[in-house]
């Protein structure tokens, strides 16, 4: 049995791509997208007609409405391949605007529902800022489920759990990147691999906390740099994986054992954490890695959203 099939025995596998033509060979249950992945997809020749057709069909609408229709069009294509859910992201430039995030989520869900897709098959992806988490709490109360992304700090996970969000996406690879760069020449790759990887440790801590206290929010490790990070999180609720790494898993038959276990987490000695807005902001500020990577991630997604805007305007 290859590693991908072994992994599926322990964890729900999700494809992290906007390239829906690649999905079928890996048979993931769900798929996630983000502005960077959609931008990458629409620059490929296979997807150029889809972008052009969608833009032409909605010419005359405000730019932000056309963009949302492009995002949903990709989501609809993905949902023809996967049996589960697709994550579609709210514009990162709204990451600090609760009301605007809620309004954009309503529009995205409305477009999916108009196309005959029930909201149970869509996750609205929102950055894990305080404003984003509060927007998600409001949306969840309406039955609109959310995927809180750009999550680097334990305090973000605590706040998401308290808000009752459906799912979080802690970013394993970007945490790893920060610590490796910070250590410089002192970084020992072998010693910091597997369960000792700082990104893996972060997800393991969140997973154990949620299971210990019966928090229903799903944990989906994301942003992987290598197969070792993935196998070290076997047993996590879900893992969203790029096509390149899915192919590597599919090509190997090395054994994979369960690494995270809900029953063991329930027996662990863990302290419950309570955070109001001030405590959240202070805890996030105290975590240099999370503060820097959250800001960097929002900036990068905003840049790619702007590039997509430009492509659409040029059609």
Compute CA distances 198 → 38, 190, 218, 220, 256, whole Å.
28, 13, 20, 16, 20
293 catalytic? Reply is no
Cβ contact 95:135 at 8 Å? no
Q: Of the residues 8, 56, 125, 307, which is catalytic?
A: 125
Measure the CA–CA gap between 119 and 33, rounded to whole angstroms: 17
Q: What is the DSSP string of 145-200?
A: -EEEEEE-SHHHHHHHHHHT-SEEEEBHHHHHHHHHHHHGGG--TTTTSGGGSHHH
Cβ contact 252:3 at 8 Å? yes
Measure the CA–CA gap between 67 and 70, rounded to whole angstroms: 5
Which residues are the active-site residues? 125
């Amino acid at each position: 049995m290859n590693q991908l099939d072994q992994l599926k025995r322990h964890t729900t596998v999700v494809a992290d791509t906007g390239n829906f033509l690649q999905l079928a060979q890996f048979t993931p249950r769900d798929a996630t997208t983000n502005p960077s992945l959609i931008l990458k997809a629409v620059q490929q020749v296979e997807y150029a007609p889809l972008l052009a057709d969608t833009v032409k069909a909605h010419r005359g609408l405000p730019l932000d409405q056309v963009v949302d229709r492009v995002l949903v069009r990709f989501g609809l294509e993905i949902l023809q391949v996967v049996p589960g859910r697709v994550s579609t992201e709210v514009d990162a430039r709204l990451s600090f605007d609760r009301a605007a995030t809620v309004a954009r989520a309503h529009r995205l869900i409305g477009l999916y529902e108009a196309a005959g897709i029930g909201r149970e098959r869509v996750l609205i992806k929102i950055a894990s800022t305080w404003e984003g988490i509060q927007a998600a709490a409001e949306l969840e109360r309406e039955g609109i489920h959310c995927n809180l992304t750009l999550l680097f700090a334990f305090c973000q996970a605590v706040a998401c759990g308290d808000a009752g969000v459906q799912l979080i996406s802690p970013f394993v690879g970007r945490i790893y990147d920060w610590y490796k760069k910070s250590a410089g020449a002192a970084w020992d790759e072998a010693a910091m691999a597997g369960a000792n990887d700082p990104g893996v440790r972060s997800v393991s801590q969140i997973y154990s906390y949620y299971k210990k206290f019966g928090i229903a929010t799903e944990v989906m490790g994301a942003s992987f740099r290598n197969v070792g990070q993935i196998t070290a999180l076997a047993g996590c609720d879900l893992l969203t994986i790029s096509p390149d790494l899915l192919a590597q898993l599919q090509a190997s038959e090395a054994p994979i054992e369960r690494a995270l276990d809900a029953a063991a987490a329930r027996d662990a000695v863990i302290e419950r954490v309570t955070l109001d807005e001030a405590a959240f902001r202070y805890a996030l500020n105290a975590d240099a890695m999370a503060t820097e990577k959250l800001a960097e991630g929002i900036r990068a997604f905003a840049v790619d959203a702007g590039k997509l805007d430009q492509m659409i305007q040029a059609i």
